[in-house]
Amino acid sequence: MKVAVLGEGQLGMMLKQAGQRIGIDVHLLNVDKNRLPEVDIPITAEREHWPLTSFTEALQRHPGWLNSAAFSTLPDRRQQKALLDKLGLPTAPWRVVGADVTQKDLHQQLGPDVFLKRARGGYDGHGQQRLKEGFLADFPSWTDNAIAEQAIRFETEVSIIGARGGDNHTVYYRLTENRHDDGVLTISLSRPDRWDALQAKAEQMLQQVMQHLDYVGVMAMECFVVDGELLINEIAPRVHNSGHWTQAGASISQFELHLRAVCGLPLPQPEQFGFSMMINLLGLSYNSGWLRQGAAQLHWYGKIVQPGRKMGHLNFYHPTSPTQLAEWLIQLEAPSVFESSRIWALSQLCPTDVTN
């Protein structure tokens, strides 16, 4: 059995590793130049943004190309937001921005605190600018291809990873709590029972999107928790950083689940065990000290080191004890810039014992 994946980044690499485990030959396709797969091979993608080249255009006409509706809608924030409004799903108040829009206009419509976001291409905090009333800002060059969104005061950020098969059968992982610094995910925590009150609602919301788009595979939905309710921030039609914990804390990882769905293989509900924690290694050189803790599962991407770049991630899992996760986190060698994320995670895992 074969699958082609557009993109050769770390997500594609981990899809390839998952495929090897269950007997699926995953072929990664360079976005700039490659041979078209055979006509009977399903084609998915590890990313939702790619350059328009003769190859990618031909790929999207290939009979095996999956999820054309999702890839034509979700990567553009204007279309994604419009879809959420159409489906009646909650999201932050927003509007399309054009060259003739002023900062005063945005504050009058959306409030004193507004995010300006590129319609396409922005990720990990890039392509965004915050606008505060009373502080006049120079608009970026991409303003005429952007949306404006009300800045939300939220309690925390969570995400849900789900998968849908071609037969409309869906399965989900539990809601995961996430910490971001400067728009980049630093830590994800998956804990049993933590978000049970919102789980069914999150599943129903994500199912609406997947079903409307006739999507096959894994999809991620990031949400703000506001007054005990979910407000959708973004949706990604692919495997997602906040689902990396499933490599250690679930019977089927998000990568295997995606391949199963794409290939029409059985799509059982993954068993999810105990307490899991994923830590992004941002802008760091390789450190063998990360391997001193026997519970640490290191995934190293082999990239050239750049500030803030995702160089790899660590997964930790324990069947019964969040306190044990906290102790491992305390022992982890990490730069001082990581300290605020560490303190946040410790306050979640062991709020009365570890942070005092």
pLDDT digit string, tens, across residues 130-171: 999 878 788 888 888 899 999 999 999 999 999 999 999 999
Among 159, 205, 151, 155, which residue's Cα sits nearest to residue 178?
159
- Cα–Cα distances in angstroms (integers) from residue 91 to residues 88, 158, 229, 243, in the given order: 9, 14, 11, 22
The predicted pLDDT at position 353 comes to: 58
Give one word for 305, left, alpha or beta, with left for phi > 0 and alpha for psi -120 to 50: beta
Higher pLDDT, 348 or 34: 348
18 neighbors 256 (Cβ within 8 angstroms): yes
> For the residues 92-102, what does the mean pLDDT come to?
90
> For the residues 24-42, what does the mean pLDDT come to?
91
Locate the domains of the chain by residue range.
Answer: 2-65, 93-150, 156-349
| Alpha-carbon span 70 to 80, nearest angstrom | 9
Tokens representing 49? Answer: 């943004």
16 neighbors 28 (Cβ within 8 angstroms): yes
93-150 under CATH 3.40.228.10, yes or no? no
Q: Which residues contact 92 (CB under 8 A, 6 or more apart)?
A: 149, 150, 151, 152, 224, 231, 233
For residue 354, pLDDT beyond 60 = no
| Alpha-carbon span 250 to 200, nearest angstrom | 19
Handedness of CA 337, 239, 223, 225 (dihedral sign): negative
The predicted pLDDT at position 355 comes to: 43
* Sole residue written with tokens 């906290």: 326
pLDDT digit string, tens, across residues 258-302: 999 999 999 999 999 899 999 999 999 999 999 988 889 999 999
6 neighbors 32 (Cβ within 8 angstroms): no
pLDDT digit string, tens, across residues 328-342: 999 998 888 889 999
> For the residues 204-226, what does the mean pLDDT come to?
98
156-349 under CATH 3.30.470.20, yes or no? yes
> For the residues 294-316, what does the mean pLDDT come to?
94
The predicted pLDDT at position 214 comes to: 98
Helix (H, G, I), strand (E, B) or coil at 17: helix
210 neighbors 165 (Cβ within 8 angstroms): no
The predicted pLDDT at position 356 comes to: 45
Question: Of the segments 21-35, 52-66, 95-109, 198-212, which one has the largest average pLDDT value?
Answer: 198-212
For residue 111, pLDDT beyond 50 = yes
- Mean pLDDT for all residues in the chain: 93
2-65: CATH topology: Rossmann fold (3.40.50)
